Amino acid sequence: MKTFEEKWTAWIDDQLTGRELEEFLASLPDRTAAEAEKQSAKQVGSLLREQAMALSNADFFSHQLRERLDRENAPARSEPDAIQTGWWTIRRLLWGGITSLAVFAICTVLVFRERTPSSQSQYLTQILESRVDPIVSPNATITMFEKKDDHVTVLWVDGLQSLPSEYAAK
């Protein structure tokens, strides 16, 4: 006579038939749980046959097997795991970038708003009078262009042969 474990193994391998199968099924306390365990055992068996060469480390055997079964039996998620994992998710990076740009724009506006352009720079000089010595350069002409909006004055000198010493920059 076979023990319960021997009958259980034979039932999982589909080797029980006829009267012996009927007696075994009648002795099961919860047939739906037993059927689920049989399916799980068959999945493990098929996984072992497929992945027999891929399992390289015996210490991680049961862990790898449980992980794969959990992945196969897990319900499908609505969002991909790549977006939900880690501290810096795509949404957080996006909101962080938008917030940084907004803070930068506000600071820029405040800094430029407080800065009022001064009327004159301390380095500004004004050309009041221009003349050329007719003995040194008889054909020299001076033209002055002034643009008050940009605070620019251009002194155009044509025909100047040399600059007298009194015009040296100080």
Q: How far apart are alpha carbons 140 and 162 in whole angstroms?
A: 10
Q: How far apart are alpha carbons 135 and 164 in whole angstroms?
A: 11
Q: How far apart are alpha carbons 128 and 74 in whole angstroms?
A: 89
What residues pair up with 107 in beta bridges, in sequence order? Answer: none
Closest CA relative to residue 125, chosen from 163, 165, 157, 152: 152
pLDDT at position 15: 84
Q: Which residues have CB under 8 Å from 42's CB, separation 6+?
A: 12
Q: Are 142 and 130 in contact (CB under 8 A)?
A: yes
Record the tokens describing residue 162, joined without a space.
Answer: 């040399």
- Overall pTM > 0.85: no
Record the tokens describing residue 105, joined without a space.
Answer: 């724009």
Beta strands in 2-149 (DSSP E): 141-147
Q: Which residues have CB under 8 Å from 99's CB, separation 6+?
A: none
Ranges of each domain in the chain: 4-74, 83-114, 118-162
User: Could you read off the pLDDT tens digit of each residue along the chain, which spans 170 residues?
Assistant: 578 888 888 888 888 888 888 888 888 888 888 889 889 988 888 887 777 655 456 656 677 777 888 888 877 665 555 555 667 788 889 999 999 999 999 999 888 876 665 565 566 566 666 667 777 677 777 777 777 777 777 777 777 666 666 665 44
pLDDT at position 100: 96
Amino acid at site 129: E
Q: How far apart are alpha carbons 159 and 169 in whole angstroms?
A: 20
pLDDT at position 170: 44
Amino acid at site 107: C
